[in-house]
Chains A and B, each alone.
Chain A
């Protein structure tokens, strides 16, 4: 994860506009979950100048990724706009540079939305466990009021997806709380 974050910090310096870490790297950072990210997902506009910067840093285009043959990091730009509140972006000082990471609340909502995708065995899916990992790892930091407001907005706009997110949120919240209570009990005992 640190290697991915260092790349994000380097690109933040090189790019015209700040790219924001989303996806698995953000999940590992925000939840401490052993997600084993396969690539570095960055949200942001990639200009011709930025593409030149990627090449000059040693990246080459491979399919949908930019790949670095020495440090073996695959970078993808899945979207040019962050789905969430830019005020909640977290900037992490890594020493040599600073990486911008999607806020934990928006990351949770993203994971929750993805968890609505599986048609069967939802609670056995990677997406469900991703949302559960974020909810548990960042339990104290999650802004419930914000999350519920965003879910309501999605419900208004997209109906069933929002409704499924609300149900999954309730279930995931319950499981996260149970895990925390068990942990607290173990520590007391």
Chain B
């Protein structure tokens, strides 16, 4: 199932409070509303809006629809489709094929002293990348 409006597109599985909250906050501010104003328009409390915006609560679809409407947005639900995202292994294989013999060498990017220490701590020595 995919949920989308003009600003949000995500599968319900990836629909997390931390993702939705900041979007709602931004849309509310763009609409020039306080949390109390929005709460008043949709018949809930300012505390409930605060919890949603700070990612402590995931609003249900019905509440999300009321919020979107109050903010002048629309939500479209599409059933029976999923976001076709290849697995990480598949993406790695594909990228490897596209890159061919090329290898990203962090030492070729002129690392600073701090970056050099970070690379060495990870065992990514200069010798490892030298041909």
Please measure, in the bound complex, the distance between the C-alpha atom of A154 and the C-alpha atom of B109, giving whole angstroms: 26
Number of interface residues of B (CB under 8 A): 40
- Docked complex: B92-112 residues within 8 A CB-CB of A: 92-95, 97-99, 102-106, 108-109, 111-112
- Contact among B7, B83, B93, B117 with A67 in the assembled complex (CB-CB below 8 Å): B117
Please measure, in the bound complex, the distance between the C-alpha atom of A133 and the C-alpha atom of B99, giving whole angstroms: 7
A126–B104 CB distance below 8 A? yes
CB-nearest residue of chain B relative to A65? Answer: B114
CB-nearest residue of chain B relative to A99? Answer: B18
B121–A180 CB distance below 8 A? no
- Docked complex: A143-187 residues within 8 A CB-CB of B: 175-176, 178-180, 182-183
Q: Is A62 at the interface (CB under 8 A from chain B)? A: yes
Number of interface residues of A (CB under 8 A): 43
Q: Is B47 at the interface (CB under 8 A from chain A)? A: no
- Contact among B99, B118, B119 with A33 in the assembled complex (CB-CB below 8 Å): B99
- Residues on B lying within 8 angstroms of A by beta carbon are 7, 16, 18-19, 22-23, 26, 55, 83-86, 88, 90-95, 97-99, 102-106, 108-109, 111-115, 117-119, 121-122, 124
7 interchain residue pairs of minimum CB distance: A72-B121, A179-B98, A38-B115, A74-B114, A98-B18, A65-B114, A136-B98
